[in-house]
Structure 1
């Protein structure tokens, strides 16, 4: 979804801004007061940690689809991402314990509490490079006993969406859906910026939920028909057939894609055009074998064209949203802010070794 809350955290006054943003996002997602309070707690703790341990950073809040099983099964969750270029966490296991704190001025809630009250929580830290943490707050509180059962089996997808100049809406969006053995990941970049661009990309996401049973080229044709009344968008669709262990990719416009294979990272190429305006006569489809350790990255043109794929084997085992956020963080800095709406989405296997 295209609504974005992007809060730089470099002094204590921004902690309140982060909490208010989390409450606003929870209202947009329709969370209950109890789950809104959980989101506010997690947001406040993540922001406080950025100040106390990393010298500052960013909190990104997106609304994400929680259960991609069909057009009637989607529900919206609040996703909070904390990104920093700090010293990293020396002992991640200790940091994740309830009540752990290394400074007297901390809230004392700790990352362990964040993990306990979130429906999903994951963190990756590299000494000398910084930390990325993700938390997702759903409509229902997590059950410790049933936490594993709450997560659907199958390939995982996640992403991050950032708007140009911290605008309210991003013209980009990513979405995913499942239909039987097919898992489909889509990234759309609406032409231009702002609400009109977001209208185009959100229309593409809504149509994907209804068309995810179709092959990628037909999905793009359906999206073209749906987006005719909008500005149009660049769109890429990647569809994984877990029965055949095959990934099919098709794109129209300037969406980037790279696949991590046994031979290394390889690009997947989109075809020139605009979905909803100038659609090509034929849409080339690339078909590649999907291995147990494969990983796919889709990104809009806001990400620098010369971004470097991650070579951190531990990072690639983390939550796909953590991988996407690390790619975004490592490609830029406060001195080199994003030059466009930017979205990064990752498709990963069910489990990685």
Structure 2
């Protein structure tokens, strides 16, 4: 059952907690001393920025599959705030830039030492910064992939483990994304969703409906889970989706959004006899969002035209941030996973 660190950062005393969370996550995925130090540095800089520039925020530390789908797990660090935002993101990423009288090396340093770094900021709405640190230093040449997946997972009430889980598997032109919401929350919910993750890695070569049948068998003996499975074949330009239970799925097609419907039931407890797959075209203007019911049912899809070009985990974090606030806290474990076409590198 994977650990998730949700660190509220509202004063300087929590910067140490952020660093320790990154170090513990690094130990979990087996990073060496130098890469552990890089993860700790990134967490420290992002937490410090939350205090200096946003009057506090939230730092999420998790272990995830890298965007390329190659290699082992990496440490993902996401800083989320409702602060003033940045008018010039490009300038903020340059060394020497500062709005707080500091040396301004924080974001530039994070960008250099992390394997992946991305940032989305809108004046008046806040900022999301993302970094991933893996076993090796950032390579100069990157593998080009036609689609990518990412997400965030937030445990309910600061628990160490979330009852939600998401994962994805790449096989050639086909990418399979799954999100599982274990019934309730706590260790038993986490056990169910973790069983779904383990089985997905054995069954991702199968069609969505057959994956759900395999998951149903794997989750018997647990309290069960709501599960959504999506597959995209970038070569064929097709997307398939099937879901069971109270999990949400929305697909952006150009400027509009549509719901992809799941069947009633609980995987591992009560699977519907008939499972239908939704098949739709997949193109460069598509964006798929899977989410658990920790996200309010009436959440509003992001309208920022620049967001789809961001790392999908950044998009997921922005969705969670904009759907909740201190006045409307999440009411359950909350996971959001995003599947998007690969966009050209942004300047």
**Residue 108 of structure 1: CA displacement?**
4.8
Contact 1:182 1:241 in 2 (8 A): yes
Deviates more, 1:91-100 or 1:253-262: 91-100
Report the counterpart of residue 83 of structure 1 in structure 2: 80
| Inter-partner Cα distance in structure 1 for 2:328 and 2:157 | 12
**Residue 74 of structure 1: CA displacement?**
5.0
Deviates more, 1:205-214 or 1:127-136: 205-214
CA change 1:107–1:44 in 2 (3 A) is farther
**Residue 154 of structure 1: CA displacement?**
2.2
* Number of equivalences: 345
| Inter-partner Cα distance in structure 2 for 1:274 and 1:107 | 53
Matches within 5 A, 1:234-253: 234-253=226-245
Q: Residue 260 of structure 1 is aligned with which of 252, 260, 271?
A: 252
Contact 2:168 2:175 in 1 (8 A): yes
Quick check: 1:338 aligned with 2:330?
Answer: yes
Unpaired runs of at least 5, structure 2: none
Report the counterpart of residue 138 of structure 1 in structure 2: 134
| Inter-partner Cα distance in structure 2 for 1:68 and 1:124 | 21
| Inter-partner Cα distance in structure 1 for 2:258 and 2:224 | 28
Deviations along 1:137-165, one digit per CA (max 9) or x if unpaired, are: 1111113x32xx2x451211000000100
Contact 2:97 2:103 in 1 (8 A): no
| Inter-partner Cα distance in structure 2 for 1:76 and 1:191 | 26
Q: Residue 110 of structure 1 is aligned with which of 106, 109, 115?
A: 106
| Inter-partner Cα distance in structure 1 for 2:236 and 2:64 | 28
| Inter-partner Cα distance in structure 1 for 2:255 and 2:26 | 42
Relative to the length of structure 2, the TM-score reads: 0.96
Give 3-state SS (helix, strand or coil) of 1:247's partner: strand
Q: CA RMSD in A?
A: 1.6
Contact 1:67 1:74 in 2 (8 A): no
Contact 1:57 1:85 in 2 (8 A): yes
**Residue 109 of structure 1: CA displacement?**
3.3
**Residue 33 of structure 1: CA displacement?**
1.1
**Residue 34 of structure 1: CA displacement?**
0.8
Unpaired runs of at least 5, structure 1: none
**Residue 94 of structure 1: CA displacement?**
1.6
**Residue 348 of structure 1: CA displacement?**
0.1
- Point out 4+ residue stretches in structure 1 off by more than 4 angstroms: none
Contact 2:67 2:149 in 1 (8 A): no
| Inter-partner Cα distance in structure 2 for 1:230 and 1:202 | 10
| Inter-partner Cα distance in structure 2 for 1:171 and 1:210 | 21
**Residue 335 of structure 1: CA displacement?**
2.2
| Inter-partner Cα distance in structure 1 for 2:301 and 2:99 | 33
Relative to the length of structure 1, the TM-score reads: 0.94
Deviates more, 1:151-160 or 1:10-19: 151-160
| Inter-partner Cα distance in structure 2 for 1:343 and 1:14 | 24
